[in-house]
Each structure stands twice: as C-alpha cells, then as structure tokens.
Amino acid sequence: MKPNLNAAVVIITANISLSGNLTKSVTGPTIRDFVILKAFNINTHHPNVPKIIEVFWHPPIQNWVKCNTDGASIGNPGVAACAGIFRNRHVESKGCFAANIGIANALYAELMGVILAIEIAYHKIGTDFGLNQILN
C-alpha cells in the first residue's frame, strides 16, 4: 500500500500540535520561533515580564560617605561574592570593592559585604576616605 503524502502531513502536523500544546515551556524570543509555532497551531506561552522597581538613592549628610553593598550566591550554598561602592554627598565615587568569598549562601554573602565595608571605612578614617582604587 502506497502512503498518501497529504495524510502523512496531516498526521505529523496533528502530533506536533498535540505535543506542543501539552507543554508548559515558554516561547522563544525570535519571530522565527513564533512563525513555526503558529504554522503547527501551537499555543504560545510567553515568559513572565520582568518586574521593574524604581529605586531612589539618598545622599549622605554633609562630610559623610555612604556605602552601598550587595552579596549573592549561585545556589544555596554555592559560589558567592560581595561588593560595595562608597560615595559622597555629590555622588562622587570614593572607592569600591569586590570579593569572592568561596562557597556560601546569599545571607552570608550579604553580611560579608557589610563587614568588609565597615573594615575598609574603619581603616580609612581621617584620610578623607581617599579610596582611588579597587580593593580586592
């Protein structure tokens, strides 16, 4: 028996459509992906829109320096690091630091960022906080 080409195309398209519509995977970011999915009548699942949060930086009082720190880990625990930047009232950078802290969780990385900032500030008291280089 000779297979019918049209019947084969219909069966293949139906199976692809069925399996594609049963998945919860998100649609790719390209128009080419969209065109292919629509050709097989597959419903698209768009990724969640990133949440945008407005953040305000408040300058420190006169003759003070402000340090903003952050810490993160890839995994819990996982490879972790922390960093910070020192700025004066005029938003001029007075220095920054970044440190790889090995395997840790995110809370530890955040706390290490604060501890390192305090240690650096303590050692720079009375020097007009002249951090002009990146400290490791």
Which pLDDT belongs to residue 104?
Answer: 96
Round the average pLDDT of the chain to a whole number and report it. Answer: 86
Three-state DSSP class for residue 108: helix
Which pLDDT belongs to residue 126?
Answer: 59
Judge: domain 66-135, CATH 3.40.50.150. no
**pLDDT tens-digit readout, 67-108:** 999 999 998 899 999 999 999 999 999 999 999 999 999 999
For the chain, what are the domain ranges?
5-39, 66-135
- Give the whole-angstrom CA distance, residue 64 versus residue 89: 7
